[in-house]
Structure 1
Amino acid sequence: MSEIDAYQMLHGRIVAGELSPGERLVEEELAEQLGESRGSIRTALLRLEHDGLVLRERNRGARVRRVTAEEAVEILEARAALESLAAGHAADRRTDEEAEELRAIVADMRRLHGEGELLAMSERNAVMHRRILEISRHTVARDICARLNSQVVRFQFRTVLAPGRSTRSLDEHTAIVEAIAARDRSAAEAAMRTHLSHVAQALLAIAA
C-alpha cells in the first residue's frame, strides 16, 4: 500500500463516519491496521489535515476534526458561490451526452425516492454535484469544492431524511439540470444557489 492508498482509505473512513468526530488517530495503530509504515500514515494525516478532516494538536496527536453546524453552513455558503459559478459554466460547455447523463442521474434519484431509498438518493445527489463540477471544466472550483464537500457530507446525509426535504431536493436538482440542458447560464446559477441555500436551512433546522 502506498501513501496515496493510506490517504484514500483514511479519507473514505472519515467521510463514511467509520472514524467518528473527535476520535483519536494513533499512527502506530493505523499503521498496523493498514499494513503501512508510520511515515506513510503521518503523511496521510498531514494531507487530511490540509483537507480539514483531521486536527493535529501539539503533544496530543491527531483526531478526526469536529465540524459544527454553524461551520457546515459557512461551508455550504462557500460551495454555493463556487458551484453556482460551475453550473453556469456547465450550461455553456456541456455536450449533448453530458446533458443526457445529468438527466439520467435525476431519473435515478427519482426512482430511488419513489422506493424510499433516501440515503441511496443522497449518494446519487453527490455524484450529480461532482459531475456538474467536472462538466464545468472549472478546475479550481472543482478542486476546492471537493475539499469543502468532504467536511460536510455527514451533515448532508442527515438533511435528506428531514420531513419533506427529499421531495424538494429532487425538484431543485431537476431545475438545475434542465437549466444546464437548456444552456441557460443565469437560470443554472440561480437554481444551484437556491438549492444549496435550502440545504443550509435544512441543516440549521436539524441542528436546532
Structure 2
Amino acid sequence: MSTDTKVVSQADVATAVRRGILAGELVAGQRLVEAELSESLGASRGAVRAALIDLTHEGLVERIANRGARVRVVSVEEALHITEVRMAVEGLCGAKAAERITDQEISALRALGQEMTEAVENGDVVGYSQLNQRLHESVIAIAAQPVAAEVLSRLRARNVRHQFRLAFRAGRPQVSLPQHLAIIEGVCARDPQAAEAAVRAHLGSVLEALAESDAPA
C-alpha cells in the first residue's frame, strides 16, 4: 500500500488503510503494524493508532490481545447481512441515479456496459471485475446521496474478500453481466423503479451465491 502524498493526519491514515482494504492490497487477517504504517504513510505513531481505533469501530479492523491489529475477517453469515443492507441502500442509489442522470452520464454508462460485455466475451475476468466495481461506483456517484455513499463505502470494504471470491468463481461473470446491463438500462431510461428493481435483483443474486458458498459439501 502506498500514497502519492505525505499523510499526516489521523483521518488521512484511516482513508489510506480503508482504500487499501477496498483495493485488496490489505487482505483479511493481515496484521497492521503501527511502525510499518507510520513509515509507509509518513504519519506519527499516534495518528496511526487513533486511525486503527476508528477503523475498529467501523468494523474493518480488529485488535487481538497481545498481537496488535489486523484486517478483520468477515464470516459468510456476516457477508450475507451486509449484502442485505447493501440491497436496500444501493437500490435507493439506483433510483436516485435514474432521477438525476445527465445525457453525458448516460453515454458513459452505456459505454461502460459495452466494455463489460466485451470483457466477458473475451474471458477477461480481472478486467470485468474492475469494470463491475466502476459501474457500482458510477451509479452511487450519479445518485449524489452522500450519506448512502458513505454507508456503502464502509460496507463494501468489510465485504471485499467475499466480493473478490465471487468475482473469480467460474461462470459468475456470465450470470452477473445481464444483471449489470439491466441496472444500466434502468438508470439510463430514467426509470427509478426499474433501476431500483435491477439493483435489488443483482444483489439478490449475490446473496444466493454467497449462501451457496457457505453450504456444506
TM-score using structure 1 length: 0.90
8 Å CA contact 2:27–2:161 kept in 1: the answer is no
Q: 4+ runs of 1 displaced by more than 4 Å?
A: 57-60
Which deviates more from structure 2 when the two are superposed, residues 184-193 or residues 59-68?
Answer: 59-68
8 Å CA contact 1:16–1:154 kept in 2: the answer is no
Q: How does 1:5-24 map to 2 (within 5 A)?
A: 5-24=12-31
User: Among residues 187, 204, 208, which one is paired with 1:201 in the alignment?
Assistant: 208
Amino acid at match of 1:201: E
Q: How does 1:1-208 map to 2 (within 5 A)?
A: 1=6, 2-3=8-9, 4-57=11-64, 60-208=67-215
CA distance in 2, matches of 1:66, 1:142: 23
8 Å CA contact 2:22–2:156 kept in 1: the answer is no
Which consecutive unaligned segments of at least 5 residues does structure 2 have? Answer: 1-5
Amino acid at match of 2:80: V
Pairwise CA RMSD = 1.9
8 Å CA contact 1:53–1:64 kept in 2: the answer is yes
Change (3 A) 1:183 1:14: closer
Which deviates more from structure 2 when the two are superposed, residues 9-18 or residues 111-120?
Answer: 9-18
Which consecutive unaligned segments of at least 5 residues does structure 1 have? Answer: none
Q: CA offset at residue 18 of structure 1?
A: 3.9
Per-residue displacement from partner, 1:91-118 (whole Å, max 9, x unpaired)? 1111111111111111111121122111
Change (3 A) 1:103 1:23: same
Number of paired residues? 208
Q: CA offset at residue 155 of structure 1?
A: 1.1
CA distance in 1, matches of 2:21, 2:186: 34
8 Å CA contact 2:94–2:195 kept in 1: the answer is yes
Per-residue displacement from partner, 1:155-198 (whole Å, max 9, x unpaired)? 11211222322112110011111111111111111111000010
Q: CA offset at residue 134 of structure 1?
A: 1.2
